[in-house]
Amino acid sequence: MTVPIALTVAGSDSSGGAGIQADLKTFAALGVYGASAITALTAQNTQGVTGIHHVPPHFVTAQIDAVFADLSVGAVKIGMVAAAAIVDAIVAGLSRWKPAHVVLDPVMVATSRAPLLESDAFEALRRKLVPLAQLMTPNLPEAAMLLDEPVAENESDIVRQGQRLLDLGCDAVLIKGGHMHGPESIDYLVTRQGAQMLSAPRAATKNTHGTGCSLSSAVVAGLAKGDDLETAVRRAKTYITAAIAAADRLDIGRGHGPIHHFHSFDFE
């Protein structure tokens, strides 16, 4: 049995709702075998991050090399990169193995507002990782930080920022609109051919921990299975919308709980 394979290069969330753990759950839920290269260990739960321990850069490279040397990786997701030296390690690995699809989720701040990216790593991410990405998936604050602009508040500004982000070197940008308000949650897929609006009903829940990680991983799962980019993004949006809508079926933690990655499975 041939199974599509995806690799996530990201940080670990000890509470299981975001990071590597969310990525692997997403891959599994969508029928993709997940491999991982861990960049950082975080001590966190649904209420916040209490500690971060960086994995030595040479060991990040070793994990990436070990996976590619043995597994037929169809697509790669990059999440929390933590530090500039880790960015360099990831760039070295990707440049050596040249995966067909790379999706970059520029994780900078946790849901609890704890910083997840050191200041010296910010410019390294912009200059070195973004040009390697087929798709970048910032939320509205992350897009603004990457461009050193105020957070976009309307559709025209979101699309304009997406077009500016393309100038950093990636092929496409998916700006996530979860931080906006209103009955619809709208994401914007911006490519050099134009912009598309992806809308879904907004779920009234506080349990959104790991949403961004899981959305980018769902796109990667689609690419690993052979979907074109637009199809992968649209299917990922559908999956995440349902996972958020089902989040309150879970009772996990006392803060911002996780989304329901396995909402389509009946555990009862």
**C-alpha span between 19 and 107 (Å, rounded):** 9
> What does the pLDDT read at residue 117?
80
- Give the pLDDT confidence of 137-157 residue by residue, as tens digits: 999 999 999 999 999 989 999
Residue whose C-alpha is closest to residue 140's, from 180, 100, 101, 171:
180
Strands (E), the chain: 5-13, 33-45, 48-54, 75-78, 102-104, 135-136, 172-175, 184-191, 194-201
Identify the CATH number of the domain defined by range 5-145+203-249. 3.40.1190.20
Q: Among residues of the chain, what percentage have pLDDT more than 70?
A: 95
**C-alpha span between 226 and 234 (Å, rounded):** 14
CB of 52 within 8 A of CB of 244?
no
- The residues annotated as belonging to the active site are 176, 208, 210-213
> Is residue 232's pLDDT more than 70?
yes
> Is residue 185's pLDDT more than 90?
no
* Element at 92 (helix H, strand E): helix 84-97
Backbone phi and psi for residue 260, each to the nearest 5 degrees, phi listed first: -95, 90
- Give the pLDDT confidence of 151-176 residue by residue, as tens digits: 998 999 999 999 999 999 999 999 99
**What are the residue ranges spanned by the domains of the chain?**
5-145+203-249
- What DSSP state is assigned to residue 118? -
Residue 237's DSSP bridge partners are none
- Give the pLDDT confidence of 95-141 residue by residue, as tens digits: 999 999 999 999 887 666 666 787 788 899 999 999 999 999 999 99
CB of 99 within 8 A of CB of 35?
no
**C-alpha span between 30 and 185 (Å, rounded):** 22
Three-class SS of residue 189?
A: strand
> Is residue 267's pLDDT more than 80?
no
Q: Which two structure tokens, joined as six digits, stand for 81?
A: 């990169």
- Give the pLDDT confidence of 75-102 residue by residue, as tens digits: 999 999 989 999 999 999 999 999 999 9
CA 153, 155, 157, 160 dihedral sign is positive
Q: Which residue has the tokens 């753990």?
A: 21
Three-class SS of residue 207?
A: coil
Pairing state between β 194-201 and 184-191: antiparallel
**C-alpha span between 53 and 75 (Å, rounded):** 26
Residue 37's DSSP bridge partners are 9
**Stretch 52-58: mean pLDDT:** 96
